[in-house]
């Protein structure tokens, strides 16, 4: 026999046992985004490579070593999107959504980065993201963070830390850059190779280094707040004041710079200690320069993205109950008359009870074999229709939940079946 194909390394299947939790997360997110007036934008998976080089920055991990880039049949260089913001700005400019307007947008979907796969880090992973355009004041930073806080809360995720920093204006960063280079040069020998290389090309990136030795050196590095001008300080204060007003606790982390070059001013990350090294579940910030950099008029912007797999892992780690896609009801039948009646009844039940997940037995077999399938389906209830029930126009309803006391068989008349099932399922379903 030929060898079986396997999925590409770092590209995962989501199986039905897990898909319900994904669907629930997506549903909750769509509701949270809508509750703040954000509209969904659906973006393509493939873009011209230049878009990401120009936006994310040439000297970043993503562009230097993580992109899936290839030439298509016409010789154009294309890249599977590693993130959503660049595409969102590209689409906003292409369709005239950004000029002199305020836009509240969100997106969801797979992203692609050629990283070393491990728990919480994959080559195809999924993000939910939000982008807000046209608002220069701290209102937008605060709104973006408030949406993220609500989303995490509604997903049952607690114990997360909000880390906050500001990268100030271009002038602030230029001043800071000089101070940082001066500091790093004094410690150059102790830095990891990547950081030594970036010391001059992109010194802020060094703050993002994952090398413990470099991080140790950085403890003594100058903090960007010390280079703030009045405007940067006022904006940062307004964000912190607003968070306090909303009761959202945060920790200022002066080394937080984010792995993409387009950020200006506010940056933030929600982190957890529950997922080992992959502790950042949601991250974002202000990127006031990017729209202009991609050919638009100067447009203030704020956004964030979260890693769906990491949110799901965190739900598991915290024991948050999530939706199951299991059937509610498994419908057994014995004999041809019962099969025909069961088909009709099953359709009537699906009409009467929207959201009902009912599996109609197929293929015949003895009752014991059918009930075994019913058990394996995860259904809470089995319906049993035999010849005598067809005659009496009833159905036997049987609980399949282990732990439920074996009750006397209950026979329900066909016209009452839908309301009886609704009552029984309400008792047995958490939500
Ligand atoms: P990290 O430092 O973990 O590499 P990042 O700074 O590269 O993260 P962003 O580009 O800010 O990540 O993406 C936002 C979120 O997307 C991250 O906080 C994380 O939850 C998720 N994410 C990023 N890369 C991956 C990946 N390879 N696999 C799974 N999730 C990811
Ligand atoms: Mg990364």
What's the whole-number mean pLDDT along residues 326-340?
A: 97
| For the chain, counts of helices (H) and of strands (E) | 16, 16
Measure 258 CA to ligand 2 centroid, in angstroms: 9
Among the ranges given (29-33, 101-105, 193-197, 404-408), the one the predictor scored with the smallest mean pLDDT: 404-408
Question: CB-based contacts of 211: which residues, under 8 Å, 6+ apart?
Answer: 191, 192, 194, 195
Cα(268)–Cα(144) distance, rounded to whole angstroms? Answer: 10
Whole-model pTM: value is 0.93
Tell me the CATH number for domain 16-161+249-317: 3.30.930.10
pLDDT the model gives residue 380: 94
Pocket test for ligand 1, best of 85, 310, 311, 312 (most atoms within 8 A of CB): 310
pLDDT class of 431 with cuts at 50, 70, 90: very low
Give the burial string for 369-391 (b: 16+ CB within 10 Å, else e): ebbebbeebbbbbbbbbbeebbe
Please, which pLDDT band fits residue 208 given cuts at 50, 70 and 90? confident
Specify the residue with its C-alpha closest to ligand 1, atom 21. Answer: 307
Which ligand lies nearest to the CA atom of residue 268 in the structure?
Answer: 1
List b or e across 297-335, with b for residues whose CB sees 16 or more CB atoms inside 10 angstroms: eebbbbbbbbbbbbbbbbbeeeeeebbbebbbbbbbbbe
> Which atom of ligand 1 sits closest to the CA of residue 120?
29
If you average pLDDT over every residue of the chain, what do you get? 94
CB 283 within 8 A of CB 96: no
Q: What percent of the chain has pLDDT over 70?
A: 98
Spatial distance between the Cα atoms of 80 and 89, rounded to a whole number of angstroms: 16
Tell me if 330 sits within 8 A of 383, measured CB to CB: yes
Q: Of 210, 208, 105, which is closest to residue 147 (Cα–Cα)?
A: 105
Q: How far apart are the first and last CA of the chain?
A: 46
Pick the residue with more confidence: 131 or 173? 131
pLDDT at 133: 98
Does residue 378 surpass a pLDDT of 80? Answer: yes
Ligand having the closest approach to the CA of 259? 1
3-state secondary structure of 241: helix
Q: Give the pLDDT of residue 1.
A: 66
Q: Which residues pair with 191 in a beta bridge?
A: none
pLDDT score of 428? 65
Ligand number with the minimum distance to the CA of 284: 1
| CA–CA gap between residue 58 and residue 55 (Å, rounded) | 9
Residue among 9, 19, 68 at smallest CA distance from 322: 19
pLDDT of residue 14: 97
Give ligand 1 pocket residues (Cβ under 6 A): 83, 113, 115, 120-122, 125, 127, 259, 278, 280-283, 305-307, 309-310
Residue 406's pLDDT is 64
> For residues 189 and 24, what is the distance between their CA atoms, to the nearest angstrom?
50
Ligand 2 geometric centre to CA of 214 (Å): 17
Q: How is domain 329-428 classified at the architecture level of CATH?
A: 3-Layer(aba) Sandwich (3.40)
Task: Give buried/exposed letters for 79-90 (b at 16+ CB in 10 A, else e).
Answer: bbbbbbbbbbbb
How many angstroms separate the Cα of 22 from the Cα of each of 40, 43, 108, 126, 131?
17, 20, 12, 10, 22
Residue 132 and residue 290 in contact, taking contact as beta carbons nearer than 8 Å: no
- Indicate the domain borders of the chain: 16-161+249-317, 329-428
- In the reported structure, the alpha carbon of residue 307 is separated from the centroid of ligand 1 by a whole-number distance in angstroms of 6
93 by Cβ neighbours in 10 Å (0-12 / 13-18 / 19+) ranks as middle
pLDDT band at 263 (very low <50, low <70, confident <90, very high): confident
- Does the pLDDT of residue 121 top 80, yes or no? yes
């Amino acid at each position: 026999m030929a060898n079986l194909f396997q999925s590409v390394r770092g590209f995962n299947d989501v199986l039905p046992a897990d898909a319900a939790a994904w669907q629930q997360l997506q549903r909750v997110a769509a509701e949270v985004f809508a509750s703040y007036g954000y509209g969904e934008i659906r973006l393509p998976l493939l873009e011209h490579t230049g878009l990401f080089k120009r936006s994310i920055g040439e000297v970043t991990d993503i562009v230097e070593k993580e992109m899936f880039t290839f030439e298509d049949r016409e010789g154009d260089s294309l890249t599977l999107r590693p993130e959503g913001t660049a595409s969102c700005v590209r689409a906003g400019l292409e369709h005239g959504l950004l000029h002199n307007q305020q836009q509240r947008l969100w997106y969801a979907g797979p992203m692609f980065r050629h990283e070393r796969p491990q728990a919480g880090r994959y080559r195809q992973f999924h993000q939910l993201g939000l982008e807000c355009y046209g608002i220069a004041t701290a209102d937008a930073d605060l709104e973006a963070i408030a949406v993220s806080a609500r989303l995490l809360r509604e997903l049952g995720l607690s114990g997360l830390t909000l880390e906050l920093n500001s990268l100030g204006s271009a002038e602030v960063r230029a001043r800071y850059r000089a101070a940082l280079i001066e500091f790093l040069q004094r410690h150059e020998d102790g830095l990891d190779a990547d950081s030594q290389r970036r010391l001059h090309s992109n010194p802020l990136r060094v703050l993002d280094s994952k090398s413990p030795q470099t991080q140790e050196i950085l403890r003594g590095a100058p903090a960007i707040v010390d280079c703030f001008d009045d405007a940067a300080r006022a904006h940062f204060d307004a964000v912190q004041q607003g968070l306090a007003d909303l009761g959202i606790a945060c920790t200022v982390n002066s080394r937080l710079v984010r792995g993409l070059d387009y950020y200006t001013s506010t940056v933030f990350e929600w982190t957890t200690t529950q997922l080992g090294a992959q502790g950042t579940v949601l991250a974002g910030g202000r990127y006031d320069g990017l729209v202009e950099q991609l050919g638009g008029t100067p447009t203030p912007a704020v956004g964030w993205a979260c890693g769906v797999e990491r949110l799901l892992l965190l739900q598991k780690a915290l024991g948050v109950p999530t939706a199951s896609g299991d059937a509610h009801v498994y419908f057994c039948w014995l004999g041809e008359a019962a099969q025909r009646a069961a088909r009709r009844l099953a359709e009537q039940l699906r009409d009467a009870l929207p959201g009902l997940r009912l599996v109609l037995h197929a293929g015949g077999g003895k009752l014991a074999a059918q009930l075994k399938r019913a058990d394996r389906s995860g259904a809470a209830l089995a319906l049993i229709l035999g010849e005598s029930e067809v005659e009496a126009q009833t159905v036997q309803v049987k609980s399949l939940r282990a732990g439920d006391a074996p009750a006397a068989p209950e026979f329900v008349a066909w016209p009452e079946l839908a309301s009886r099932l609704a009552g029984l399922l309400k008792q047995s379903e958490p939500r």
